[in-house]
Structure 1
Amino acid sequence: MSLPQIDLPGDLDGRHVLVVPRGTDLVALASAWFPEAAWTRQPVSAAEASASARPMTGARFRGITAEAAAPTPGLLRLDASAALEGPTPAGRDDAQAIGLATHELDLYALVPTDAGAPLDLVYGWMSAAARRAAGAIVPADRTHAVAPDPWSAVDLTLWSPVPLSAQDALPLIRPAMTGARVGPTDVPQQSQGAAGPPTFSVTATFEYDGSLTVRTGRSREVPVALSRLDWREYGPWSYHVSWQPPQPEELHNDHPSQLHLIARSRVQPSVARVAATLWRAVGGTVVDSGGFVVPPDELRDRATARR
C-alpha cells in the first residue's frame, strides 16, 4: 500500500525542501558549512512588498482596493553546486503533515546550479541544519519527511586561544561532571612542534549512563563556522567533550531505545556544564557536533536543563 504524499505548495514540486521554523536565520546555518554562503537574491516578504508598493491615489482610483503585494522568494547560494530558494511560508496543516510541532514554517527548495556536481555535502548540510533548527527535510517525491532529532547532537567542542594543562583543567572539570566518577587523566601527549602544555584526556563514568570524555588537542584547521568570527573569539586549542553511551551503536540509530534517551537526557547537562566551565576559564567559542556555533546563552540553558 502506497503512503499518502505530503502536500506542499505547487511551485516547490520536484525539488527537495528544507523545512525550518518561521524566522530561522538560514544564512547563519549555511555559513557554518559553506564559507561563501550569501543571498544572490534577497527575499521580500509580503509586508515588505506592500510597504514598497505605490499607493493607488487620485479620483479615478477612489473606491478601488489595491491587491496585496506578493512576496518574492530569495535565492541563497551555498556553493558552486547548489542554492536554496525561499522562504515560502507554510502553516499548521503543513507542519502536521510533516510531523513538526511548530505551527509556522519556512520552506526552502533546493536548486542545483551545476548539473554535473555531486551534492553529498549539500545533502549532509541539509540534514545537519534540519537537526539544528528542529526542522525537517521533505524529499522531491513527497512520500515522507525526515525530521532529525535535535537532541541527538550531544557532543560539544570549545575552540580557545588558551591552552590548559591537565593539572589546571582537572579541578575545573570534576565539579561540572555531576554524578560521575572522574578517573585519572590519560598520559599527556606533547604534539610535535606544538607550543604550550601537552594535550590530555580525562574520562568520567556514570553508573547507568555511560561515560563522558574531555580530550584536548591543537589543530591548524578549525570548523568552517568559526571563519566568520573575529580571530580573537577562538583559537587552535580544542576541548572536545563527548558522550559514550552504554550501547554506542545507538548513537547511529534513528529510533534509539527509551533507555538510551533517558541516559542522554541525564548526561547532556553535564556535557554543557563542562564546556561552559572551560569557556569561562579560557574563553573561545563552542561548536556542536553538527558544526554550528553554540552561543553562551544556549550553552547556559543546556547546562541548567533539568536532568
Structure 2
Amino acid sequence: MTGPSAAPAVLDGSHVLAVPRGTPLLPLARAWFPTADWSREPATAAQAAAARPMTGARFRGIAVAPPDPAGVLSLDGAVEVAGPYPLDAAGARSLALPPQESDLYGLPAAPVAGATLPPDLVTGWATAVARRTGGGILPAARDRAIVPDPAAAVDLTLWSAVPLRPDDALPLVRPALSGSRLAAPAPPAGGAPEGFTLVARYEYDGEVEVRCSRSREVPVVLSTLDWREHGPWGYHVTWRPPDPLELEVPHPSQLHVIARQRVTPSIARVVATLWRTVGGTVVDAGGFVVPHEEIDARARPR
C-alpha cells in the first residue's frame, strides 16, 4: 500500500500517469495516437492566476468555485486524459513514485462509451510513457505504484530510406560491436539488397543483433513526421541477454543489469554510426522518437 494519497481528489477512481514536471504530453500521445489533441488546453500560470476568485469585503458570502486549470487531452475523440495536476517531490515519494516534481494525469479506469481504443492499449501507452520519461503509474485501486525502469529499454531502430549492403554495413558496425559476423544474408532480387542480419556474441553479455529489413509496417510515430525524415528500411539493433526471461521481470539480477550497462553504449554507437551514413529517424522500443542528443548521451560509457 502506498499510504494516504497525495494525489488530487479529482483523480480518485482514475488511473494516474505521473511524468516529470513540464513534460510535454501531446507529442507522446501522438506517437501512439496520431489524432490526439487538446480538447481543452491546460491553463498557463498567468491564466490560472487571473481566474482566481476575487476576495475582499465586497465579495464576502459569495461562493465562487475556482475554474479547473487542468486540460483535457483526447486520444481518440472519446478517451480523455485530464491534467496536468502538479505534485511536489515529497508527495510523489509518499506515493512510491519517483521522488521528483511531477505532473499527474488521470486516465479512465473503465471502458469508455464510443471509444475506439481498447483499455489495455491506453494503459500500455501510459506504461510506455512512464518508462520513456522516468515517471510512474498509480492504478485506480491505489494499491501499489508501477515505476518502469527507463534503463530497461535498450533496443533501438533506425528507419531510413537508404538500404546498405552487408559488406558496407559490417565495417560500420564492428568498431562498436567487436566480433560482428554476417548471420543471415538474404539473396538479392534484381541486384537490390533485401536485408541482412549481423550478430555479435559475448560470453557474459549475450548477443547484439543488427537486422536490416524492408517493412510495410512502420511505427505509428513516423506518420507524424515529414516523409523525408524516414523510410521503409529498418535497422533493428536488439540485445538478447544470456537469460532472456530477465527482460520480463521488474527487478532483474545484478549480472543482467551489469551486462545491460555494458551493451547499451554499443547499441547507441551503432545506431549513431548508421544514422550518419544513411540518415533517418531513430525510434525506441516504446515507439517514441529518440533525438540525436539522447543517442550521443547513451553512447557514453557509464
TM-score by length of 1: 0.88
Contact 2:98–2:135 (Cα < 8 Å) also in 1: no
Aligned partner of 1:38 in structure 2 is 37
Contact 2:15 2:139 in 1 (8 A): yes
What SS is found at the alignment partner of 1:243?
A: strand
Pair 261,145 (structure 1): closer, same or farther in 2 beyond 3 Å: same
The question of whether the paired residues in 1 share the 8 Å contact of 2:197 and 2:212 is answered with yes
Q: Write out per-residue CA displacement over residues 174-229 of structure 1, whole angstroms, 9 at most, x where no aligned residue.
A: 0022xx4222x12421487x983121001001231111000000012211111111
* SS, match of residue 79 in structure 1: coil
Report how far residue 3 of structure 1 moved: 6.3
Aligned to 1:186: 183
Contact 1:6–1:143 (CA under 8 A) maintained in structure 2: no
Query: What are the residue-to-residue correspondences of 1:133-282 with 2, within 5 Å?
Result: 133-177=133-177, 180-183=178-181, 185-190=182-187, 196-282=192-278
- Per-residue deviation, 1:49: 2.6
**Deviations, residues 35-56 of structure 1 (Å, cap 9, x unaligned):** 1011010100333332578999
Residues 1:90 and 1:70: Cα distance change in structure 2 (over 3 Å): farther
| CA positional deviation for 1:98 | 3.0
Deviation at 1:83, TM superposition (A): 1.3
C-alpha offsets along residues 235-257 of structure 1, whole Å, 9 cap, x if unaligned?
00010000000111100111111
Q: Where does residue 25 of structure 1 map in the other structure?
A: 24
1:77 aligned residue: 74
Tell me how far apart the structure 1 counterparts of residues 111 and 39 of structure 2 sit (CA, whole Å).
Answer: 13
1:302 maps to: 298
> CA distance change for structure 1 residues 266 and 227 in 2, over 3 Å: closer, same or farther?
same
Distance in 2, Cα, partners of 1:110 & 1:195 = 51
- RMSD over equivalenced CA pairs, Å: 2.5
Count residues in correspondence. Answer: 292
Q: Deviations over 1:147-187 (max 9, x none)?
A: 1011111100000011100011001000022xx4222x124
Map residues 78-93 of structure 1 onto 2, 5 A cutoff: 78-93=75-90
Deviation of 1:141 (Å): 1.3
Structure 2 Cα separation of the partners of residues 10 and 191 of structure 1: 61
- In structure 2, stretches of 5+ residues that fail to align are 59-63
| Residues 46 and 70, structure 1, Cα contact 8 Å, conserved in 2 | no
For residues 153 and 48 of structure 1, the distance between their equivalents in structure 2, rounded to whole angstroms, comes to: 38
1:15–1:109 Cα contact (<8 Å) kept? yes
1:64 aligned partner: none
Residue identity opposite 1:31 in structure 2: R
The 2-side partners of 1:90 and 1:40 are apart by: 23
Q: Which moved more, 1:158-167 or 1:80-89?
A: 80-89
Range with bigger deviation, 72-81 or 262-271: 72-81
* Partner Cα separation in structure 2 for residue 100 and residue 146 of structure 1: 8
**Which residue of structure 2 lines up, in the alignment, with residue 7 of structure 1?**
6
Structure 1 portions without partners, runs of 5+: 62-66
Partner of 1:98: 95
> Whole-Å Cα distance in 2 between the matches of residues 190 and 37 of structure 1?
42
CA distance in 1, matches of 2:87, 2:79: 23
Change (3 A) 1:278 1:16: same
* Residue type at the aligned position of 1:44: A
User: Runs of 4+ in structure 1 displaced over 4 angstroms?
Assistant: 51-56
Which stretch of structure 1 is more off in the superposition, 226-235 or 102-111? 102-111
Which letter does structure 2 place at the counterpart of 1:14?
A: G
